[in-house]
Structure formats: structure tokens, C-alpha cells
Chain A
């Protein structure tokens, strides 16, 4: 089910079955264009499939927005090694809650998407990595997988093609970092979710040291409709280089928060005002966090842009995982910055120094600052520490922590300064600097 009402402005492509009764069942799926694409695809060569995907301009929905067709084309063929299809349903980026709906309401669409990937590289095994908190989804997806086996969509000699494909669910156990693709693979192999050295990338050396297609749940879920209606059709839905629709998760201070399927390039201000009924209680907009907590915020005056990967990149932030957190004029930015860095400090795997120590230090400064113990030099220090992390960590989590932190300071410096003034009366004597020279 969905937990919010739909909006008439939505373009329901991958959420088209969400409101049907028994939407997760294979019968509902089959009665509504289900497993049509795979039948077509079984007649295509890998090159044809990848070309179609490229034509669709589908870009990864997991965060980085990497072109999916290109990613699939990187998988070396005929290496003699088995290959794997991995779905990233770790969905842990704060602000994001869409993969949950896709698995809950339309698991067969995901299965079909993974099958298409499987056929493309003649893989025989796939895993859906679902975060541990989503236990009920494991049951739903497991049921769907069982149905697919019963109807011959999974297992041996699928639809007489001679091709076998097995699909399994795999659970995480509470670790944001396991959403990072290589950490996910480590976790899948029964280890700590510490990212791997790259290169090689998962396409070449992925699951079980073998070539792997790894995509986000929404990315895979978008694949069947592309092959049903054509890549060009899909691309048309969005803007150039940003094909199709995406599930936008709007949260925070809007009247009607929710997950809405919108075409790529839909204007952000229209999302807030028209799709979500405007800022709550008639308040003014202060800022948005446009693509999950890792993306630097946009001030209200910067929000008049289309919602797609390239437009947000141009605005020096990112569309990331599609989670927009809307913050109204009353929002305490220091508190948001603190809560954000707390999250990253909690989730840093600890592998590399700048991320492990940087997030922890930032968390401590911001905690003190938030509690009224800030000193003027803190503001610059926060910015500098963030930039000392940026681009220097082992994986992108460090960046994901540094970017929004730096962004808050850069864009709301005045709020930090005011905070200081407000609290200066109660500020404790600044401790002496410790000299270590």
C-alpha cells in the first residue's frame, strides 16, 4: 500500500500498479503488463538491450545517477566466471523511502527488471540486498520470488530460453554504509560492511569476485517498462540525459509529504507547492535538502530549478536518492546540521581516518555549539574540517558527510553566527588550546 494519497500531477509509470488490489501478487502483475518485457528481451542480444537502455537515458536511482546502460556495458563477457545481479535495496539515505514501496507494492516488477539484467549478461544468480529493518519486505519479496518460480519466470530454462536464473533475498543488519555498493558486496559475503578498493569496480570484480551488475531497486524496477514501451518513449518522459520518471520522496514541512512519481525535470517549486500542497501551515520556505541527507542544501531562493541530476549538479548539489526534505522558516539549521553529522558519525564504518575522526569531531563541535558552548572560531573550523574530509576519504560516505556540513555553513553562516550571539551569555570560558608542538 501507499502511505500517502497520490497526486494528480504524477506520471505513474513504475508505480502504476501500486493502488491495485493484491498489487504484489503475480496474478495482478501478469494481468497488468507483467513479464511482457522479459519475453521481448529474451529475443534480444546484449548489445540490443544495452542500446535500448542507453536510449532510455535511465540513470541510477541509488544516488550517483550513473547511466544504467553504460554501467551494464562495462560487464566483461565470457570471462568463464559466473556473473551476478545484485539489487541494492539497502535504502538508508535519510530522506529516502521509495524502494520500500516498490518492493511492497510491486515486487514482480523488480524481479522482472533483474531478470532482464540477468539475461543481458547471462547471469544465473541474483540477490536482493534488503536492509535489516525491512523484514516485512523480505517476506513479501520472498513470496513473490516463490510465485515467479512456480510460474516458470525463475529457475531453470526460463520460458524455454535455455537460460536459468535464481533469485534470492539477503538481509542487512543495520548499517548505512552497506548501501555503498562495494560495502554491500562485502556484507553479502558475510563480512563487515567496509568498502572495497576501487578500481576494480563491481562490474568487473563484484559479488564473489565475479562480474556483477549492481543497481538500485528503483533502477531495476524502471527497466521492464523501458522494454515494454521502448527506450525512446521512456526518455521522452524526462529531460535530455535524464530519462523517465522517478519516485520523489518529499518529507519535512509540507502539507502533503509523500512519495510521488514525477517526470524527471519536474520543477522543484511545483513539487513543493502543487504536488505537496505547499509549505506547512502557510510558513515560508527556508531551504530544502534536495537529494537525501548527503546533498548540500539549497536556500529557498535557489530552489527554482528542475528536479533532475544535471540541474541539481549545476546548482552544486545533487538529486541523489530522490529524497527532498523541505525545511520551513522556523527550522533551526544548526540542529539539522547536528542531526545530519550525528548520522554520519554513527554510520561511518571507521575504516579511514578522515571520515572516522572527521565525522566524530564535527559531531562533537556541533553538539557543543548547539548546546550553547560555541565559540566564534568554531564556524570556520567546521567548514575547514569538512573540506579536510572532502575528496580524501576512502569511500563516498566521507563526502556525503562533508558536503552537507560544508553546505550548511556556507549557506547559513548567518544563522550560526546568530546562534553564537544568542548563546554567548551562557557560553562557557573557551578552554585553552592544547599545544602539542
Chain B
């Protein structure tokens, strides 16, 4: 790297790498230069003129957001001239600004307010009429109020450069200039709301939040999104136990800038009126609300009775529950109920990947790697639909770090818009791969991401292919739900204990898998935790005693003998593991009266059954996981402080039998999120035209938004 340049800002002698923009160099030194249009990682605009500074030996004020530091440069960021310029610019900005701060959603967290407070004029010399334009609603989630807009173009850039969607543009000219949506009078986009969050003022507001509260009335709880496997950090704005808003206000977490529509808006399932708030017990064929004590006693009595005569139990765990809950559940199943019949809906063949990698370290990519890897290859996934953050990372990688992105898919994918892509029917991926072999081998490194269609032997073949390239290769098995990876890692599998240890280590025989359990007429009890297996099938032996823990009366819960209302991921603490195997901590935000976390439910059941589970706080269980599960010995400091800690849950071969028929993608899209998504009114109100954001809009995308799992929501009265 070239020698750092020396320069002076406000008397401080500083150095920075050549090419560093003055605004960033100053920030490094703790000197903040105000700016509206400058935004990290987005293209330079120099449009707002807030960042003007004085540079000695130049006659005019200079724009700090585009000026690279130079040797010997002497800069003043707080001279009278600079202060006057800022004031002047703010005065200009405020001329047409409505000054409706008292009713503006952004009031209290508005960059314009802050700037005027810090640098502005206390009084306005503007006595002309303001231009009024009516507010427009562009989509269920996006509203635009042109007069408030200061035209910093952040929204246009985050949508185009960041998200690769380019749904926003600039219309008109001069004082009439405004932001315009791609659909003429509405938006056809991912509805991710990034534009709203990035807006420094209240010009873009969200349909889920507007006019609901003042920002300072909320408590801000940083937790992990519960929708997909990517594990985005989200900050819940909670008021009186209710989620009012979700965003990633401090840009922390693996997702930084990013959240998709689900992360930002689909929290409303949590307040859905159909949320279960009291346990239900079937009496005379009907589910009737009862107290927790009765419900737990009913289950405990039945479980103890069946346990005493070694009846056949089945346990189906969840892709949404925490690692601690999963760990406890499998332990409960294996030790208390004495059964190996435990499984979950597998959305990716994680175990086979672990086996194929034979525990080698450094072969699992992190979300962060996806931004920096020199090359990445996606097989059989329309990332933008199915793995929103990963899609964002790869796109940013291509844009900011010039990473090479490749994609093989049976249909159009968004990566067509910027990456090297090719089509291959399912099963033909390796022919396409061979064609790229030479090119891939020239890459200094590669991350391979694959969807649920690549399973069993195909994974082994893929790893062999990766090995044959002679370059460092990392992998991501694209699973679907918020803790799919954790469910697998924590041993919600009939033949594997936590950390992919064979059940024989615990002196057990492999048990039944999901399909086998459902098909087994001799099953006497089925305990379903946060899962909805009956969506696809039904229980063969209808006589089995069915206990369901869930948020809603799902297809499965409707058949239950006992339904226990569970808390959502937003209502509990614990850890989850994202698609890349990074562990992150949940924080408790809202609460739903009557519901209990699955952890609590399992513990209460144990107490009721007089079973001793030992340590009974999530923290204690996490500590045990850290000790017992290989690769989960993550630094507490990282996890406790809201970081993401990568794991490597295997250190050798995995002894198990792969069941490719059990690997089923959840087929969630940007606008669907399994059962939770069905209870999000916001998600269901967004009906996007599929294909519009693909390079060839004539072709149907691989996964059609709205095609799967969006059903009319169960109405309540």
C-alpha cells in the first residue's frame, strides 16, 4: 500500500491512506462533518453541500465528501465561514420543508432536526409560500411526502446500488424534483423498506409505523429476526409490550444496512388476534381453554403413563426455537421420554455437508465472508427471494469489492442482473459446473452456496469438485428458517445427538424420522414443538396423544389433544444459529400475556413429570452447549454483546444415514414465511408482480412470490 498522507484538520495532525475522503478522515479523528447525501458505501453525490469545509490555499469552500485528503492539506471544519455556509444551506433546506415536526414520524430522530439544532439558524427569513404536494402511498409499506424530501438521493442509491432493485428514480427538475417509483404511481419492488430507514427526514415513512408513536416512547430491543435463516439483527421498537416498529437502526449485526420486508415489517404476526393466549385441552372432542396448571398436568399425567409402559413417543422439534430449547427438547425426549424418535423439518442436508467436510476447519463461510470472498457460486437458489441477506451480501461484494459471483439455476434469478449465470435443470448442475471448472480454478478462493436440491451424494460430489479446484473453498448449505441450522446442530435428528454425534454414544438406537413417525400406526404420543407437520400430511395412527406448542392454532394444533401457547422468538431469550452457522443472541422485546417460551414449557413439564433436567435457565443450557457441542464453544463476550460467533459443530466424520427425501425446502419467498408469514397482515397485503425485477421479465422466476403458502388468513371474529 502507498504511504499514508499527512494533513491537518482543525489543528490535529493526521494521517490516512491516500484516496481517503476528507469526511471519513475527519470521522476517524472524531471530527464530524455534517452531511445528508454522503452515505457509507453508496456512490458520491456532493448534492447537499452540507459538508463544505475550508481548505487552506483554495479559494472556495470544498466538499468534504468527495475530496480525497492530500499531503499537507490544512482543513478547517469549524471556521466562521464554514459555520455560515452550513447555516445558509440549512436555511435553504428549510424554505420548502413543511416544518410539521410535531406530527412527523421522524421527529426526534430526524437528521435535519439534529442539524438545525446543531448548526442552524434559529429563525427563518423565509416569508414566501411553500410548495405543497400531497403525500403519496406507493405501496402498503411505503409512503412518500415530497415536500419533506431534501433530495439526498440516499433512497435511490440504496435501492439501486445496495439492493439491486432500482425501483426509485428522480422525477421532474429543479424545485419540483422529487423521488418517483418505478410503477408510475406505485412501487414494484422487494418492499424491503431500506429507503424508509435510510431517509434522513420524514419523507419516506412506513405503513406499519406511521403515526403510531413518538420514537422516544419506544424501548429499542436489538434481537434477531425470526423469519429466515440469514439471522439479521433487528431492532424492535417496543411500546407497552407491543412491537411498533422493526429496523436495524444502529446498522449492527451481520446485516449492517440490510433488512428485508419480513425483517422490517412482518413482526405484526406477533400481535395477531389469533395468537394463542391460553392452553387448550380437548374435552368432548373440542379444544377448550384451560389454565396452565391443568394443561401441564394433563400432559404430564399422560406422558408419565405412557413412559411407564414404554409406549412409542414421537417428538417433532422446530426450526424457530432457540438452541437452548432444542437442546433441552432432545434431552427431554431421549432421557425423560426414552425415545430416539425425534426430528424436525429439514430444509437442507446439513448433516451430509458436515460429513463430506469431515470436520475440516475453515470450510464453513460466514455471512461476512460473503461480502469479502473473491468469488462465490450459487447453485439452485433464487437468493433474492429465498435468502435475502445473502443476496444482498453477494451483490454488495460484486459492487464494492469486485467479487465474482456465479450462479447456476433452473430458472431466472436476480443474479442474472449482475453476475455470471447459467441455466441447468435440477440434476444437471454438475454439467454446468464442469464448464466453469477452469474459470473457477483461477479464482483465489470460492464460497459455494447450495439450495435444498443439492443433497446427499450431490453434496459429496460438490465437495469433491471444490477440492479438485485446488483453491480454498468454503460452503453454505442454504437452509430456510431462523434456527434450522440450530435444530440440526442441536440434534433434533433421530440418529444424531447434538454436534452430530451418533446416538450410539448415548447408548441409543437411531429412531424414527418425521415421515416415519407420522406414518407409524403404533405411535402413542406425538409432541410437536413449533412445527406444523400436518400441513403436508396427517398422522396415520389417529389415536396418538398429540401435544402441540405453537403461537397459533395451526393445521397440526387443530388436531391436538393439548395445545400450549408458545412465545415467539421476539419474546424470549436464547441463541439461534444462522444459515452460516453463526450463533447470535435473542433479546426479549414484547410479551404476549398467557404464552410461555418453549424453554419454560419444557421445564414446567419436566417439573410436572418429576423429571430432573438439572440446570434450568437458558444461560445455563447455553453454557452446557458450549461445553458439549463441538465448535459451539464460542466466546461469550461476542455473543453477549450482540455479535455473531461462527461455529463448527463437527470434528470428523458423521456417522448417519442420509435421507434425501426428508430434505424439503420451505419454499419461502420474500413475502412468505411459513406459518408466521400467514399471520402477518403486512406481508399478505403486499402483492408484487413476480419477474419484474429479473433481467428477463418475460420469464417466471424460480420461486414465485405468492405461489406457496400464502393462504387466506384464518379469520377471527
Whether A and B touch (Cβ < 8 Å) is answered with: yes
Listed in ascending order, the chain A residues whose CB lies under 8 Å from chain B are 175, 192, 197, 345-354, 356-361, 364-365, 368, 377, 381, 388, 391-394, 430-431, 433-437
Across the interface, do B95 and A392 meet the contact criterion of CB distance under 8 Å?
Answer: no
Question: In the complex, which of the residues A192, A353, A391, A435 contacts B124, with contact meaning CB atoms closer than 8 Å?
Answer: A435
CB distance from A162 to the nearest CB of B (A): 37
Q: A192-B170, A192-B173, A437-B122 are in contact. List 17 more A-B contacts (CB 8 A).
A: A197-B44, A348-B175, A349-B177, A350-B177, A352-B49, A353-B89, A356-B92, A357-B92, A360-B174, A377-B125, A391-B59, A392-B52, A392-B61, A431-B127, A433-B123, A435-B124, A436-B99
Known: A197-B44, A388-B85, A437-B122. A353 touches B49 (CB 8 A): yes
What residues of chain B lie closer than 8 Å to A368, measured between beta carbons?
128
Known: A197-B66, A437-B122. A353 touches B174 (CB 8 A): no
Is B284 an interface residue, CB under 8 A from the partner? no
CB distance from A368 to the nearest CB of B (A): 7
CB distance from A343 to the nearest CB of B (A): 11
Known: A197-B66, A392-B89. A361 touches B126 (CB 8 A): yes
Q: Which residue of A lies closest to B60 (CB)?
A: A391
Q: Which of B96, B99, B129, B177 has the most CB of A within 10 A?
A: B177
Across the interface, do A346 and B174 meet the contact criterion of CB distance under 8 Å?
Answer: yes
CA distance in complex: A354, B92 (Å): 6
CA distance in complex: A359, B128 (Å): 13
CA distance in complex: A368, B94 (Å): 19
Across the interface, do B122 and A388 meet the contact criterion of CB distance under 8 Å?
Answer: no
Across the interface, do B151 and A381 meet the contact criterion of CB distance under 8 Å?
Answer: no
Question: In the complex, which of the residues B93, B121, B127 contacts A353, with contact meaning CB atoms closer than 8 Å?
Answer: B93
Q: Which of A350, A360, A361, A435 has the most CB of B within 10 A?
A: A350
What residues of chain A lie closer than 8 Å to B125, measured between beta carbons?
377, 381, 433
Closest 5 CB pairs of A and B: A350-B177, A388-B88, A437-B122, A357-B92, A364-B128
Listed in ascending order, the chain B residues whose CB lies under 8 Å from chain A are 44-50, 52, 59-61, 66, 85, 88-89, 91-96, 99, 116, 120-129, 150-151, 170, 172-177
Across the interface, do B94 and A436 meet the contact criterion of CB distance under 8 Å?
Answer: yes
Across the interface, do B175 and A352 meet the contact criterion of CB distance under 8 Å?
Answer: no
What residues of chain B lie closer than 8 Å to A430, measured between beta carbons?
127
Across the interface, do A435 and B122 meet the contact criterion of CB distance under 8 Å?
Answer: yes
What residues of chain B lie closer than 8 Å to A377, measured between beta carbons?
125
A-B contact list, 8 entries, CB within 8 Å: A350-B177, A354-B92, A360-B175, A361-B95, A394-B46, A433-B127, A436-B121, A436-B123
Q: Which of B59, B125, B172 has the most CB of A within 10 A?
A: B125
Across the interface, do A347 and B150 meet the contact criterion of CB distance under 8 Å?
Answer: no
CA distance in complex: A388, B44 (Å): 23
What residues of chain A lie closer than 8 Å to B126, measured between beta carbons?
361, 434
Q: Which residue of A lies closest to B127 (CB)?
A: A431
Q: Which residue of B lies closest to A199 (CB)?
A: B66
CB distance from A199 to the nearest CB of B (A): 9
CA distance in complex: A433, B127 (Å): 7
CA distance in complex: A360, B131 (Å): 10
What residues of chain B lie closer than 8 Å to A349, measured between beta carbons?
173-174, 177
Known: A353-B89, A361-B92. A393 touches B122 (CB 8 A): no
Q: Which residue of B lies closest to A430 (CB)?
A: B127
CB distance from B702 to the nearest CB of A (A): 31
Q: Which residue of B lies closest to A357 (CB)?
A: B92
Q: Which of B44, B61, B126, B151 has the most CB of A within 10 A?
A: B126
Across the interface, do B122 and A392 meet the contact criterion of CB distance under 8 Å?
Answer: no
What residues of chain A lie closer than 8 Å to B175, measured between beta carbons?
345, 348, 350, 356-357, 359-360
CA distance in complex: A388, B123 (Å): 16
Q: Which residue of A lies closest to B91 (CB)?
A: A388
Known: A345-B174, A360-B95. A350 touches B151 (CB 8 A): yes
Across the interface, do B174 and A350 meet the contact criterion of CB distance under 8 Å?
Answer: yes
What residues of chain A lie closer than 8 Å to B174, measured between beta carbons?
345-350, 356, 359-360
Q: Which of B93, B123, B125, B127 has the most CB of A within 10 A?
A: B127
Known: A197-B66, A388-B88. A350 touches B128 (CB 8 A): no
CA distance in complex: A197, B59 (Å): 18
What residues of chain A lie closer than 8 Å to B89, measured between beta carbons?
353-354, 388, 392
Q: Which residue of A lies closest to B153 (CB)?
A: A351
What residues of chain A lie closer than 8 Å to B150, measured between beta carbons?
353
CB distance from B99 to the nearest CB of A (A): 6
What residues of chain B lie closer than 8 Å to A358, measured between beta carbons?
92
Question: In the complex, which of the residues A175, A381, A388 contacts B92, with contact meaning CB atoms closer than 8 Å?
Answer: A388
Q: Which residue of A lies closest to B101 (CB)?
A: A436
Across the interface, do B176 and A350 meet the contact criterion of CB distance under 8 Å?
Answer: yes
CB distance from A155 to the nearest CB of B (A): 36
CA distance in complex: A192, B47 (Å): 15
CB distance from A302 to the nearest CB of B (A): 24
CA distance in complex: A431, B66 (Å): 40
CB distance from A177 to the nearest CB of B (A): 8
Across the interface, do B92 and A353 meet the contact criterion of CB distance under 8 Å?
Answer: yes
Across the interface, do A353 and B48 meet the contact criterion of CB distance under 8 Å?
Answer: yes
Across the interface, do A357 and B61 meet the contact criterion of CB distance under 8 Å?
Answer: no
Across the interface, do A356 and B151 meet the contact criterion of CB distance under 8 Å?
Answer: yes
CA distance in complex: A361, B129 (Å): 10
Across the interface, do B46 and A197 meet the contact criterion of CB distance under 8 Å?
Answer: yes
What residues of chain A lie closer than 8 Å to B50, measured between beta carbons?
353
CB distance from A124 to the nearest CB of B (A): 29
Known: A353-B150, A391-B61, A392-B89. A361 touches B128 (CB 8 A): yes
CA distance in complex: A392, B54 (Å): 12
What residues of chain A lie closer than 8 Å to B92, measured between beta carbons?
353-354, 356-358, 361, 388
CA distance in complex: A437, B121 (Å): 8
CB distance from B131 to the nearest CB of A (A): 8
What residues of chain B lie closer than 8 Å to A392, measured between beta carbons?
49, 52, 60-61, 85, 88-89
What residues of chain B lie closer than 8 Å to A197, measured between beta carbons?
44, 46, 66
What residues of chain B lie closer than 8 Å to A346, measured between beta carbons?
174
What residues of chain B lie closer than 8 Å to A361, measured between beta carbons?
92, 95, 126, 128
Across the interface, do A357 and B48 meet the contact criterion of CB distance under 8 Å?
Answer: no
What residues of chain B lie closer than 8 Å to A437, measured between beta carbons?
122-123
CA distance in complex: A345, B174 (Å): 7
Q: Which residue of A lies closest to B66 (CB)?
A: A197
CA distance in complex: A437, B162 (Å): 36
What residues of chain A lie closer than 8 Å to B123, measured between beta carbons?
433-437
CB distance from A90 to the nearest CB of B (A): 15
CA distance in complex: A6, B88 (Å): 48
CA distance in complex: A365, B91 (Å): 15
CB distance from B154 to the nearest CB of A (A): 14
Across the interface, do B48 and A365 meet the contact criterion of CB distance under 8 Å?
Answer: no
CB distance from B245 to the nearest CB of A (A): 27
What residues of chain A lie closer than 8 Å to B151, measured between beta carbons?
350-351, 353, 356
What residues of chain B lie closer than 8 Å to A433, measured between beta carbons?
123-125, 127
Q: Which residue of A lies closest to B175 (CB)?
A: A360
CB distance from A6 to the nearest CB of B (A): 39
What residues of chain A lie closer than 8 Å to B173, measured between beta carbons?
175, 192, 348-350
CA distance in complex: A361, B151 (Å): 17
CA distance in complex: A437, B101 (Å): 12
CA distance in complex: A350, B172 (Å): 9
CB distance from A125 to the nearest CB of B (A): 27
Q: Which residue of B lies closest to A387 (CB)?
A: B88
Across the interface, do B116 and A353 meet the contact criterion of CB distance under 8 Å?
Answer: no
CB distance from B662 to the nearest CB of A (A): 52
Known: A350-B174, A391-B61. A360 touches B96 (CB 8 A): yes
CA distance in complex: A2, B165 (Å): 52
CB distance from A383 to the nearest CB of B (A): 12
CA distance in complex: A192, B45 (Å): 14
CA distance in complex: A300, B347 (Å): 84
CA distance in complex: A377, B175 (Å): 24
What residues of chain A lie closer than 8 Å to B94, measured between beta carbons?
436
Q: Which of B93, B172, B174 has the most CB of A within 10 A?
A: B174
What residues of chain A lie closer than 8 Å to B47, measured between beta carbons?
351-353, 394
Known: A175-B173, A360-B96. A352 touches B46 (CB 8 A): yes
CA distance in complex: A391, B84 (Å): 13
Q: Which of A345, A348, A354 has the most CB of B within 10 A?
A: A354
